[in-house]
Amino acid sequence: MEVTTFSDMQAEFLVRVNQAVYCNMATVDRHNRPRSRVMHPVWEGSTGWVISWPETPKFRHLAHNPQVSLAYLADPYKPVYVDATAEWLTDRAEQMRVWDYYKTVPPPMGFDPEPHYGSIDHHHFGLLRLIPWRIELYTLNGESVIWRQTSG
């Protein structure tokens, strides 16, 4: 079933991603080969946030191709798939806002980034924004729910 607004699926989306906490995120390298890794996004509406080291293969992959695919699999009968455009944020005010937002989200999704990074000035601190263009709440032997971002 296709839904026209993210809010039509948001409650079930949050139930499923909060159950999983971690997801698998795939990127594409400069030779167009896929690579996946485990990530811990925090969601604010339909926007995903990832605090991650910027000096990694992931950084180089996203410079080549910003498209990512996420898979959450807490329940193999009800996975969540998110296809998104990823971008590194360098705006200090937005970095600080999201840093503070992480602390307001209840565990295990949210956490205090300070013990890991100290501050947004830490050389390993990077902030990745995920802007989904398609989200699927798959249900085996049932009806899946799909939302697509519309242009404009």
pLDDT score of 150: 84
The domain of 140 spans: 2-148
Average pLDDT (22-42) is 95
Residue type, 134: R
Percent of the chain with pLDDT over 70: 99
Average pLDDT (49-60) is 89
pLDDT score of 151: 63
Question: Rounded CA gap, 21 and 37, in Å?
Answer: 14
Question: Which SS3 state, helix, strand or coil, does residue 12 take?
Answer: helix
By mean pLDDT, which of 14-23, 55-64, 88-97 is the weakest?
55-64
Question: Rounded CA gap, 24 and 72, in Å?
Answer: 7
- The reported pTM is 0.92
Question: Which SS3 state, helix, strand or coil, does residue 28 take?
Answer: strand
pLDDT score of 55: 83
Q: Is 5 exposed, middle or buried (0-12, 13-18, 19+ CB in 10 A)?
A: exposed
pLDDT score of 35: 94
pLDDT score of 60: 87
Average pLDDT (85-94) is 96
Q: The domain spanning residue 18 has which CATH number?
A: 2.30.110.10
Q: What is the dihedral of CA 68, 74, 75, 81, to 10 degrees?
A: -10
Number of domains the chain contains: 1
Q: Tell me how many degrees the CA angle 18-105-148 measures, rounded to the nearest 5.
A: 55
**Tokens describing residue 99:** 């840093």
pLDDT score of 67: 96
Tokens 């049932």 map to which residue? 142
Question: Rounded CA gap, 20 and 73, in Å?
Answer: 6
